[in-house]
Amino acid sequence: MKVTKLIKPFAALVLALSAISSSAGIYVSGSTVYENSSPFVMRGVNVAHAWYNDKTANSLSDIAKTGANSLRVVLASGKLWSRTPESQVVSIISQAKANKLITVLEVHDTTGYGEQTAATLNEAVDYWISIKNSLIGQEDYVIINIGNEPFGNGQSASAWTDGHKNAISRLRAAGFKHALMVDAANWGQDWQNIMRDNAASVLASDPQKNVIFSVHMYEVYGSASTINSYMASFKNNGLALVVGEFAADHFGSNVDEGAIMSYAKQYNYG
């Protein structure tokens, strides 16, 4: 989405063990994922560390007190906002572990690429590789969300698909064995169903088959039927889905947050 708040709710998929991805700590198997060999239903919050890094420590503590088990942290690669230094990433992971929270890390500079000036997925991968020494070995605790909403509107399906295949290939070649999270096109809302229709191909391209797909449910998802149809498609195709962001309304339009939570529970998507 184009408007970023300090903290935004997000629902995530029940995270199941995959023999294919046995080298990582968080595994995708079909539409399910396991953490520490047990089903893991993510309940957490988005934290805008890149802009409010002085508030992150208190935010993590407060999030843990709510009973959450995860958080998604905004980082910056230096394209649009000041680069988040590796030392801060190390600190975030350490604090999250101390609070018993699984950390989803995302590069925010990719937001809306193609429709507005933003970082490419390749530039996001460059950032991940530049801090890989602090990420490799943290597979039990960290999911890498390659780039936030990395394609705006009006972008081709092949751009989204090939861009993510290339990003995944580069990360694996660099030694990353983490579960990877991929955001939908159309500012994350996937109203053209580009991610829905090409997710299986992206997953198949990953030698570890360890990819979680993330949709951001805002004004496109104002009706229960739309929400149900979208989630059911991923479930029926055996694909892991997470609602990475959602809200009660967006740009003055209603979002059916009740249906999002209800159907997420029905499909074990958290």
Does the annotation mark 123 as catalytic?
no
Q: Crossing angle of helices 224-236/194-205, nearest 10°?
A: 20
Which positions ≥6 away from 236 have C-beta within 8 Å?
none
149 is catalytic: yes
Which amino acid appears at position 102 of this protein? I
The position carrying tokens 């580009």 is: 194
Distance CA 269, CA 16 (A): 12
Other Cβ atoms less than 10 A from the Cβ of 250: the count is 21
* Catalytic residue, candidates 35, 106, 149, 257: 149
Distance CA 63, CA 71 (A): 8
**Of residues 194, 198, 146, the one with CA closest to residue 172:** 146
Choosing from 35, 106, 245, 257, the catalytic residue is: 245
Contact 101, 60 (CB under 8 A): yes
Q: How far apart are CA 121 and CA 113, in angstroms?
A: 9
**Which amino acid is it at 145?**
N
Contact 75, 119 (CB under 8 A): no
Q: Any idea which residue has 């861009």 for tokens?
A: 163
Quote the CA–CA distance of 109 and 131 in Å, as a whole number: 16
The residues assigned a catalytic role are 149, 245
